[in-house]
Structure formats: C-alpha cells, structure tokens
Amino acid sequence: MSKKTIMLICSAGMSTSLLVTKMQKAATEKSLDVDIFAVAASDADNQIASKTIDVVLLGPQVRFMEKQIEEKLAPKSIPSAVINMADYGTMNGEKVLNLALNLIKGA
C-alpha cells in the first residue's frame, strides 16, 4: 500500500495530537506507511485545499461540522467520518487507525 495521509480535525488541534501519536504508534506496529496529522477546525479548509489527503476524521467535539466537511471533500472523493466518542475518549489509536484505513479501502 502506498503512503496514506490521514487528517484529524478537532476544535483546537490540541487533544487530538495525543490521538495522532497513538495512531502513529499503531501504524508503526503494523509496518504501515502513513502520514497522520491533526488540525484545528479553523484551518481545515486550508489543509483540504493544499494537501493530498486520503481520509478525514472529525473529533466528536466538531461532529456538527460533518455535513460541511463532507461537501468540501465530495469533489475530491475523500471519505470522512466522526471518530467514535468512546475510542476518542480512551485515545484508542489502533481502533481510530482501523476506521481510517477501512474508509480508504471503501473509497
């Protein structure tokens, strides 16, 4: 599998950075080549416009943005989903990584 880019969106980009670290650890354990990064909701549009992204995950705290993000991603055929609140709360990097990878496969 070629390198995949996973973008996480949260309200300020802070809490999600810990989840990114856990996801990267899970990816390393699976020998996957992924680029995972978190952005604040206010910077999401810039990132979508300027980067090649394979999947976008939204933190539960920005669930209200789901429709708006889907509309921006549709022309680029980029899948997206809201991260399960329990997985986010427990910082379950492996489950969130699997969610992202399954969305990429299904796209």
At 4-41, the pLDDT tens digits run 999 999 998 677 889 999 999 999 999 999 999 999 99
Q: What is the pLDDT of residue 13?
A: 63
In this prediction, residue 74 carries a pLDDT of 96
Q: What is the full DSSP assignment across 7-43?
A: EEEESSSSHHHHHHHHHHHHHHHTT--EEEEEEEGGG
Burial 19-50 (b: 16+ CB within 10 A, else e): bbebbbebbeeeebebebbbbebeebeebbee
pLDDT tens-digit series, residues 50-87: 999 999 999 999 999 999 999 999 999 999 999 999 99
Query: What pLDDT sits at residue 65?
Result: 95
Backbone φ and ψ of 19, nearest 5°: -65, -40
User: What is the reported pTM?
Assistant: 0.94
Q: Annotated active-site positions, please? A: 10
| Residue-level pLDDT at 2 | 83
Radius of gyration of the chain, Cα coordinates, nearest whole angstrom: 12
